[in-house]
């Protein structure tokens, strides 16, 4: 029996080599079909003679074994192509031996690829090319699936391996059509119905179809989120709303883009014109929402704070020269916000009088004592100068009141 097995396997390998040498799936399947016929008509009878059994007895044993395997694997009943591979007992006819197989002669990948080649032939039919580049496809009946079953035996594939091949093709077919249905990543009620119908047509188990749908929508959403963050159209408020809705942003938005969003958010705080800087919000809450390490976040804040500090003073002087007092106050508030993040030393300016003018304008905006005191320090204005400027501001207010009283 050992010598017979060796010679039979050599013949099987020759068929496979000829199949691989063909230039098309149809021709490759035809060579495999010849191997299946050889196994059924020659090898099965030969083994029956060696064992002193009739080929009918061998077939009956194989049928009983297959029926047992079918009962043990529920997924045979969910995929359409698998149901066809396991037809009713009446359609099985004469069975072929699988005792001599190529399980130890070919790598697992090669064996599943050969099975997949014939499965695709069963699904798509025979393609015949005609002149002018056209082709004719001739659909095959379900009898081809019986031969596919026999091929699985020759290749020594387990039920698990066969299920995996059928399932992978079903997943591929479902994914290709689901990608079209979910082109924009939106999962509406109508589309859910379409996908459910598609899942039934393909015969893919529900757990696998749902996994594919989630993968597609997640990928589409991730792309949309990446684009929105890259274009500056997503705020930390919207990020928090998405997280509350259960969206896994860490897997959808890259680390670099999350850091860019953090920079944008902090920059907005430094340019809000309010002078406010909430340390807990900036150093803890926002980094937590964006899954950024606290040390990394602190470094970004300090770098931006130092840069914006000097820029805020330059902008305030520019607005002063344009006599835009409202803008001056906003810029000085930005300066104070940056100073809260990165405490600064007194700033220098080539025209000290302009610093005094900035202080007076800010003084007139009725700021809190803390903000006014800190600004005095940053603009390097002495206490005596500050008192003089306050007195000037008070006299200006008093004169304005007198003028208003005289008018009325």
Range in 115-119, 153-157, 200-204, 296-300 with the lowest mean pLDDT: 200-204
Reading the block at residue 333, the tokens are 């508030």
Q: What is the mean pLDDT of the chain?
A: 83
C-beta neighbour count of 132 within 10 angstroms: 5
Instruction: Decide: residue 206, CB within 10 A, 0-12 exposed, 13-18 middle, 19+ buried.
Output: exposed
44: burial class by Cβ within 10 Å (0-12, 13-18, 19+)?
buried
Q: In Å, how far are 16, 134, 381 from 156, measured between CA atoms?
A: 14, 38, 90
More confident residue, 217 or 67: 217
Q: What is the pLDDT of residues 266-308, one digit of tens each?
A: 999 999 999 999 999 999 999 999 999 999 999 999 999 999 9
Residue 403 has pLDDT above 70, yes or no: no
| Mean pLDDT confidence for 358-366 | 93
CB 283 within 8 Å of CB 296: no
pLDDT for residue 248: 78
Highest mean pLDDT among 79-83, 167-171, 270-274: 270-274
Q: How far apart are the first and last CA of the chain?
A: 125
What confidence tens digit (pLDDT) does each residue in 1-34 have? 788 999 999 999 999 999 999 988 889 999 999 9
């Amino acid at each position: 029996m050992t010598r017979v097995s060796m010679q039979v396997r050599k013949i099987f390998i020759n068929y496979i080599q000829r199949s691989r040498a063909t230039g098309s799936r149809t021709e490759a399947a035809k060579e495999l079909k010849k191997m299946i016929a050889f196994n059924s008509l020659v090898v099965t009878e030969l083994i029956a003679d060696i064992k002193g059994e009739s080929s009918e007895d061998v077939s009956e044993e194989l049928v009983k074994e297959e029926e047992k395997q079918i009962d043990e694997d529920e997924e045979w009943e969910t995929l359409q192509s698998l149901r066809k591979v396991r037809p009713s007992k009446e359609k099985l006819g004469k069975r072929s031996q699988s005792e001599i197989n190529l399980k130890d002669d070919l790598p697992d990948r090669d064996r599943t690829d050969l099975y997949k080649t014939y499965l695709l032939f069963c699904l798509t039919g025979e393609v015949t090319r005609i002149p002018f580049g056209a082709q004719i496809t001739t659909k095959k009946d379900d009898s081809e699936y019986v031969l596919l079953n026999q091929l699985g035996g020759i290749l020594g594939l387990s039920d698990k391996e066969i299920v995996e091949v059928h399932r992978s093709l079903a997943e591929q077919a479902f994914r290709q059509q689901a990608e079209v249905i979910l082109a924009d990543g939106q999962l509406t009620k109508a589309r859910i119905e379409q996908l459910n119908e598609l899942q039934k047509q393909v015969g893919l188990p529900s757990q696998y179809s749902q996994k594919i749908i989630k993968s597609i929508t997640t990928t589409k959403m991730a792309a949309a989120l990446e684009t929105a963050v890259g274009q500056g159209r997503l705020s930390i408020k919207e990020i928090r709303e998405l997280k509350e809705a259960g969206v896994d942003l860490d897997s959808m938005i890259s680390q670099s883009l999350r850091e860019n969003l953090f920079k944008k958010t902090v920059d907005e705080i430094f340019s809000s014109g309010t002078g406010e800087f909430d340390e807990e919000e900036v150093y803890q809450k926002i980094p937590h929402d964006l899954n950024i390490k606290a040390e990394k976040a602190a470094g970004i804040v300090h770098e931006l704070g130092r840069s914006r500090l000097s820029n805020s003073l330059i902008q305030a002087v520019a607005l002063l020269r344009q006599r835009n007092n409202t803008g001056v106050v906003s810029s000085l508030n930005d300066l104070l916000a940056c100073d809260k993040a990165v405490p600064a030393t007194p700033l220098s300016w080539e025209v000290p009088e302009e610093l005094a003018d900035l202080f007076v304008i800010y003084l007139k905006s009725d700021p809190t004592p803390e903000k006014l005191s800190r600004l005095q320090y940053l603009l390097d204005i002495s206490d005596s100068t500050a008192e003089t400027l306050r007195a000037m501001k008070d006299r200006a207010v008093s004169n304005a009141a007198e003028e208003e009283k005289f008018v009325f």
